[in-house]
Amino acid sequence: MSKSATAASAEKNKAAAQVSAWKNLQGLVPYLGRYRGSIALGLLTLALMGAFGSLVPLSTGVITDTLAGSAQPFSHTAARGAVLARGDVLARAGWLSRTVPYYAPHSRHTLLVYCGLLILFVALKGIFSFLTRMVLIGVSRDIEYDLRNDLVARLILMEPEFYVRNRTGELMSRATNDLNNVRMVLGPGIMYSATTIVTMVLAIGIMLQLSPSLTLWVLLPVPIVAVAVRHFGKVIHDLYEKIQSSLAALSARAQENLSGVRVIRAYAQEEAEIRGFDQPNREYVNRNILLIRTWSMFMPSLQALIGTTFLIVLWKGGSQVIRHEVSIGSFVAFFTYLGVLVWPMIALGWVTNIFQRGAASMGRLNFILKAEPNIDDRNASVPAESEPRGEIEFRNLTFSYPTTLSGNGANGKEAANGERDAHVLHNINLRIPAGSTLAIVGPTGCGKSTLAALVARLWEAPDGSVALDGRPLREWPLATLRKSIGYVPQDAYLFSETIGENIAFGISEADPERVRRAGEIASLDGDIKGFPEGYDTVVGERGITLSGGQKQRTAIARAVIRDPRILILDDALSSVDTQTEERILGALRQVMRGRTTLLISHRCSTVRDADQIVVLREGRIVEQGTHSQLLATAGYYADLYQKQLLEEELERA
């Protein structure tokens, strides 16, 4: 990773760390609101699961008191060695003892009833546990589905500036690893949190009835647990933010290496890239080890507190049994409830980890979900059903990329005062009548592609500097504008689909004949006939199975099949030979008739039939006219034309 990318990532992480975990998770509230009914049902089944689970220790206690021969379950059998009459026992027994039905000491009937109830309660707890998981975990998957759709929708909506500032690999990491952590919050996080609350409330409520003094002893470690959870939770949250940042950097590095694997092999840089990957990989591992160390301190601390609680119950509870202050059944039930509370106490630490991880990840997802595109329809006033005629006008257009800071722009030039000038285009005034063809030529980096991208609003020009049919470009809805444009960029990107699907990408429905006709216009049909499956041939990732010329011609066919009012060909014939170029241009002349066409090229042979030709140099129009007019001026265009004529003659020789 470059130093600038590392610094930018560090700044983003620092800003994210300043946002509290709960504030990050607030972004999930609207998603939870969509499934209120399912969540309520899941929480109901969870409460029933806890209720039936809390009856299991009570049944165990009743069975124990029955075997021990206690006159009444969960009551004192004697006080200081004095034997009490049954009436006195009932008088001293609490409401819990008095509400136990079908009880008789040493009774087989009582044992049979409560053993059956014990089995029933365990079965019901299992059934409601299954329903709880099915409903709540199912909701988490549904919300994950919604989140993933919203992430993709937002990423597609963002303009190129967003992707200049954020690397693809890091965005992929957020949409996969971070999304999985958020799902864990929505599923296991919520489920185990609610289970912990319900179980602890019911268990502690009944434990207070069994022995208030013993319950107070059990609750002594709770403040220590709360402090430990708060401390370790903050540490885990901070560490996990750093881990996710490292993973994003690692994913970005891997994505770049895989995308550029052919270049890496061509330059024999396999070992160098492996070594370069080792550093972020080691950083990721080290941060995970630090998290594991923290986690390994957290869990033993909780287990030590739990073990201490068991010792307290054995010591104090055993003493009370010996002194006949509680029945043996009460002690067994109490001890069983303490066992029931073990998992919630352990889950408390696990859930803390889940929530802290999820909060850190949600903060990273919020960066995407809350990102607002700078190019939108906020100023649109033209009716969406309108169709432009295609007249384009540039009015005093001066443009610099928003990602380029004045003073260090990549496209900057030395200004008269010695400072760097970040402007890519300077004071462009140009009118393209509807249905005419404008050709743009000039050296590399002079702003030709930028001018074409501004027409399609891939980048935002200054307000009022670009007009379509006499109206500022911002007044046209984006969908209407881009539906009217067939754009072939320099880098012809193809999807990992069939050739036919790539050609038909820009339209909702396309019959095979229409696809074939577009292929003919792009001089691609002859090549496709030689493929085993014709237009159903899968081209592979980024069209890897096609040559550069075939990819460009596929992109031309994709633009032509849309039947656009405006056709933009940005150096779209650079990868084809002159004979193929002539065939394509011959077919395109029929398509271009009546359409506004922007034709960008380095070849004079490509642009000589254009209605007007402009020459750009250093972002300024330096020549303008028809082919014959520019030859007569003996300027840059004429010189370029003579050089290319000489090259063609040398090739023929």
What's the rounded mean pLDDT across residues 540-556? 80
Asked: is 30-369 a CATH 1.20.1560.10 domain? The reply is: yes
User: Is residue 412's pLDDT more than 50?
Assistant: no
The predicted structure's pLDDT at residue 44: 95
- Which range of 35-49, 486-500, 526-540 scores highest in mean pLDDT? It is 35-49
Tokens of 386: 């309108």
What's the rounded mean pLDDT across residues 374-395? 88
Could you tell me whether strands 596-600 and 566-570 are parallel, antiparallel, or unpaired per DSSP bridges? parallel
Query: Which residue in this structure is represented by tokens 């026992």?
Result: 89
CA distance 557 to 507: 12
Sign of the CA dihedral with 349 first, then 352, 357, and 360 last = negative
Q: What is the pLDDT of residues 228-239, one digit of tens each?
A: 776 776 777 778
Tokens of 130: 């299954």
Tokens of 246: 């490292």
Phi, psi of 422 (to 5 degrees): -90, 0
Q: Which residues share a beta bridge with 567?
A: 486, 597
Residue with the bigger pLDDT between 469 and 12: it is: 469
Q: What is the pLDDT of residues 615-630, one digit of tens each?
A: 998 889 998 999 888 8
Query: Element (H or E) spanning 487, and its range?
Result: strand 485-488
The predicted structure's pLDDT at residue 589: 80
The predicted structure's pLDDT at residue 444: 84
* Cα 468 versus chain centre, distance: 36
The predicted structure's pLDDT at residue 116: 93
Query: Element (H or E) spanning 79, and its range?
Result: strand 78-79
Q: DSSP for 423-461?
A: -SEEEEEEEE-TT-EEEEE-STTSSHHHHHHHHTTSSPP
The predicted structure's pLDDT at residue 433: 92
Task: Report whether 220 contacts 71 (CB < 8 A).
Answer: no
Dihedral-angle region of residue 597 (phi above 0 means left; psi in -120 to 50 means alpha; beta otherwise):
beta
Which top CATH class is 493-561?
A: alpha beta
* Cα 261 versus chain centre, distance: 25
Task: Report whether 446 contacts 619 (CB < 8 A).
Answer: yes
The predicted structure's pLDDT at residue 482: 87
Residue with the bigger pLDDT between 80 and 566: it is: 566
Domain ranges of the chain: 30-369, 375-484+564-653, 493-561
Could you tell me whether strands 413-414 and 420-421 are parallel, antiparallel, or unpaired per DSSP bridges? antiparallel
Q: Which residues share a beta bridge with 421?
A: 413
User: Is residue 416's pLDDT more than 70?
Assistant: no
What's the rounded mean pLDDT across residues 488-503? 84
Q: What is the pLDDT of residues 436-494, one digit of tens each?
A: 999 999 888 888 889 988 998 888 889 889 999 989 999 999 888 888 888 888 888 88
Task: Report whether 359 contacts 23 (CB < 8 A).
Answer: no
What's the rounded mean pLDDT across residues 490-519? 83
Q: Do domains 375-484+564-653 and 493-561 have the same CATH topology?
A: yes
The maximal CA–CA distance of the chain, rounded, in angstroms, is 128
The predicted structure's pLDDT at residue 76: 56
Q: How far apart are the first and last CA of the chain?
A: 49
Q: Which residues share a beta bridge with 620?
A: 617
- The confidence band for 5, taking pLDDT boundaries of 50, 70 and 90, is very low
Q: What are the E-state strand segments in 289-415?
A: 392-399, 413-414
Nearest to 424 by CA among 459, 476, 374: 459
Task: Report whether 480 contacts 386 (CB < 8 A).
Answer: yes
Listed range (36-40, 358-362, 371-375, 504-508) with the worst mean pLDDT: 504-508
Q: What is the pLDDT of residues 144-188, one digit of tens each?
A: 999 999 999 998 888 888 888 888 778 887 888 888 889 988 888
The predicted structure's pLDDT at residue 4: 43
Task: Report whether 74 contacts 65 (CB < 8 A).
Answer: yes
Residues 375-484+564-653: name the CATH superfamily. P-loop containing nucleotide triphosphate hydrolases (3.40.50.300)
The predicted structure's pLDDT at residue 145: 92
CA distance 145 to 282: 33
Amino acid 489 reads: P
Tokens of 10: 């560090």
Percent of the chain with pLDDT over 70: 89
Amino acid 637 reads: Y
Could you tell me whether strands 566-570 and 485-488 are parallel, antiparallel, or unpaired per DSSP bridges? parallel
Phi, psi of 465 (to 5 degrees): -85, -15
Compute CA distances 128 → 32, 139, 366, whole Å.
22, 16, 34
Average pLDDT, the chain: 81
Residue 404 CB neighbours (<10 A): 17
Compute CA distances 422 → 401, 413, 460, whole Å.
8, 7, 16
Sign of the CA dihedral with 172 first, then 173, 178, and 184 last = positive
The predicted structure's pLDDT at residue 20: 66
The answer to whether the predicted template modeling score (pTM) of the entire model surpasses 0.95 is no
User: Is residue 77's pLDDT more than 70?
Assistant: no
Nearest to 619 by CA among 458, 440, 488: 440
